[in-house]
Amino acid sequence: MNDAFIHSEDDFLALINRYFPNEHKELSIARGDDCAVFACPPSLCVTTDLFVEDVHFRTSYFAPADIGHKALAVNVSDLAAMGAVPLGFSLALVAPRGVPVSFWEPFLQGMAHLAATHDLVLTGGDLSDGDKITVGITVWGAPGQRVLARGRTRIGDVLFVIGRVGMARVGLGVLEAGQDLDAFPACIRQHVHPEPLVEQGRLLAALPGVRGAMDISDGLEQDVPRLLAPGQGATMFMDPSVIHPEVTMYCARHHLNQARFCLRGGEDYALLGAVEPEYFEIVRERIPEAWKLGIVTANGFSLDGTGIRLQGFDHFSHEQP
């Protein structure tokens, strides 16, 4: 079976059924009909992300289980960033004919494991032939105590980050170069297997004074301006103690400015948030991974005391990955 190929949609659906339970207490019509039907809360958070071969990942250095995991993780991270609790998802999968069952089994297992961790039910989707593995996922969830949106910051708010930055960028650099793999295990893991910070997002939505949050998918340089209300700026500091030793080592070896490097690193799926200054200590107490990035200002950006122009990553304007 393992070296075989998928011969029919029914074969593939049977494979999916092996890894994903097709019942859930909220689900009145499950996979296999025109639509799924499920009970839902009074309001719903919905997000969609693509994960495309040779754009977002390469099969040469991504294990199939990590591809399945990350395709779902980047979606769940968007829910986490709103403070929402994930409920269900649908899967649009371009599965090229030449990809064997031995790929799809761990792929589905990796995705199913993350789904089970968060009690997420796969309600359905669609399969197609095509040239490149393309995973389109739409995930929905219930808002937490508050919805952590963008664009609601005020001057003087504390900007903070939950999690690390720069690690996934190191992981990508090392994997693309194909050298020194043994020296950067944590960074490689962060690139191929990011964990969405669902519990931290949920906690954040319940804490006082929190103005909003988002996940850092494109790097702080691009994402900080997106969190801020229009026209605002930020004074930022990249405390060396929050930078992972592997990132420090990578930047030293390549003669890179570590703080700038971390500002540009995307795909860590850390959370970026803003909180009224008098409540920042509560955030830090309740969520130990939180660290202070800086302060919202009237305009302009600075990093470690030097003015900077912010620009970020864009899937259209840069070569990828």
Spatial separation of the C-alpha atoms in residues 104 and 93, rounded to whole Å? 11
Sites for a copy of itself among residues 226-265 (CB under 8 A)? none
95, HSE (Cβ side, Cα atoms, 13 Å)? 28
Nearer to a copy of itself, 140 or 250 (CB): 140
Nearest alpha-carbon partner for 90 in 41, 67, 123? 123
> Least separation, in Å, of the C-beta of 137 and a copy of itself?
8
Q: Is 182 annotated as a binding residue?
A: no
Spatial separation of the C-alpha atoms in residues 284 and 160, rounded to whole Å? 9
Spatial separation of the C-alpha atoms in residues 162 and 4, rounded to whole Å? 43
Residue with tokens 């229009």: 230
- Tokens (6 digits) for 139: 């995930």
Q: Is 239 annotated as a binding residue?
A: no
Sites for a copy of itself among residues 116-145 (CB under 8 A)? 123-132, 134, 136-138, 140-141, 143
Write the interaction track for a copy of itself spanning residues 48-87; mark x where CB under 8 A is met and - where it is not.
xxx-x--xx---------------------xx-xx-x---
Among 21, 41, 106, 209, binds a copy of itself (CB under 8 A): 41
Nearer to a copy of itself, 72 or 259 (CB): 72
52, HSE (Cβ side, Cα atoms, 13 Å)? 10
Q: How many residues bind a copy of itself (CB under 8 A)?
A: 71
Q: Is 124 annotated as a binding residue?
A: no
Q: Which residues contact 77 (CB under 8 A, 6 or more apart)?
A: 194, 196, 197, 215, 217, 269
> Least separation, in Å, of the C-beta of 251 and a copy of itself?
28
Spatial separation of the C-alpha atoms in residues 184 and 250, rounded to whole Å? 8
Sites for a copy of itself among residues 137-196 (CB under 8 A)? 137-138, 140-141, 143, 147, 149-151
Nearest alpha-carbon partner for 232 in 301, 294, 291, 278? 301
Determine which helix (DSSP H) or strand (DSSP E) holds 111, and give its type and residue range: helix 101-117
> Least separation, in Å, of the C-beta of 142 and a copy of itself?
10
Nearer to a copy of itself, 134 or 190 (CB): 134
Spatial separation of the C-alpha atoms in residues 96 and 27, rounded to whole Å? 30
> Least separation, in Å, of the C-beta of 34 and a copy of itself?
4
> Least separation, in Å, of the C-beta of 267 and a copy of itself?
14
Among 44, 155, 181, 183, binds a copy of itself (CB under 8 A): 44
Q: Contact region for a copy of itself (CB under 8 A) — 60-68, 89-97, 171-179, 186-194?
A: 89-97
Q: Are 173 and 250 in contact (CB under 8 A)?
A: yes
> Least separation, in Å, of the C-beta of 31 and a copy of itself?
11
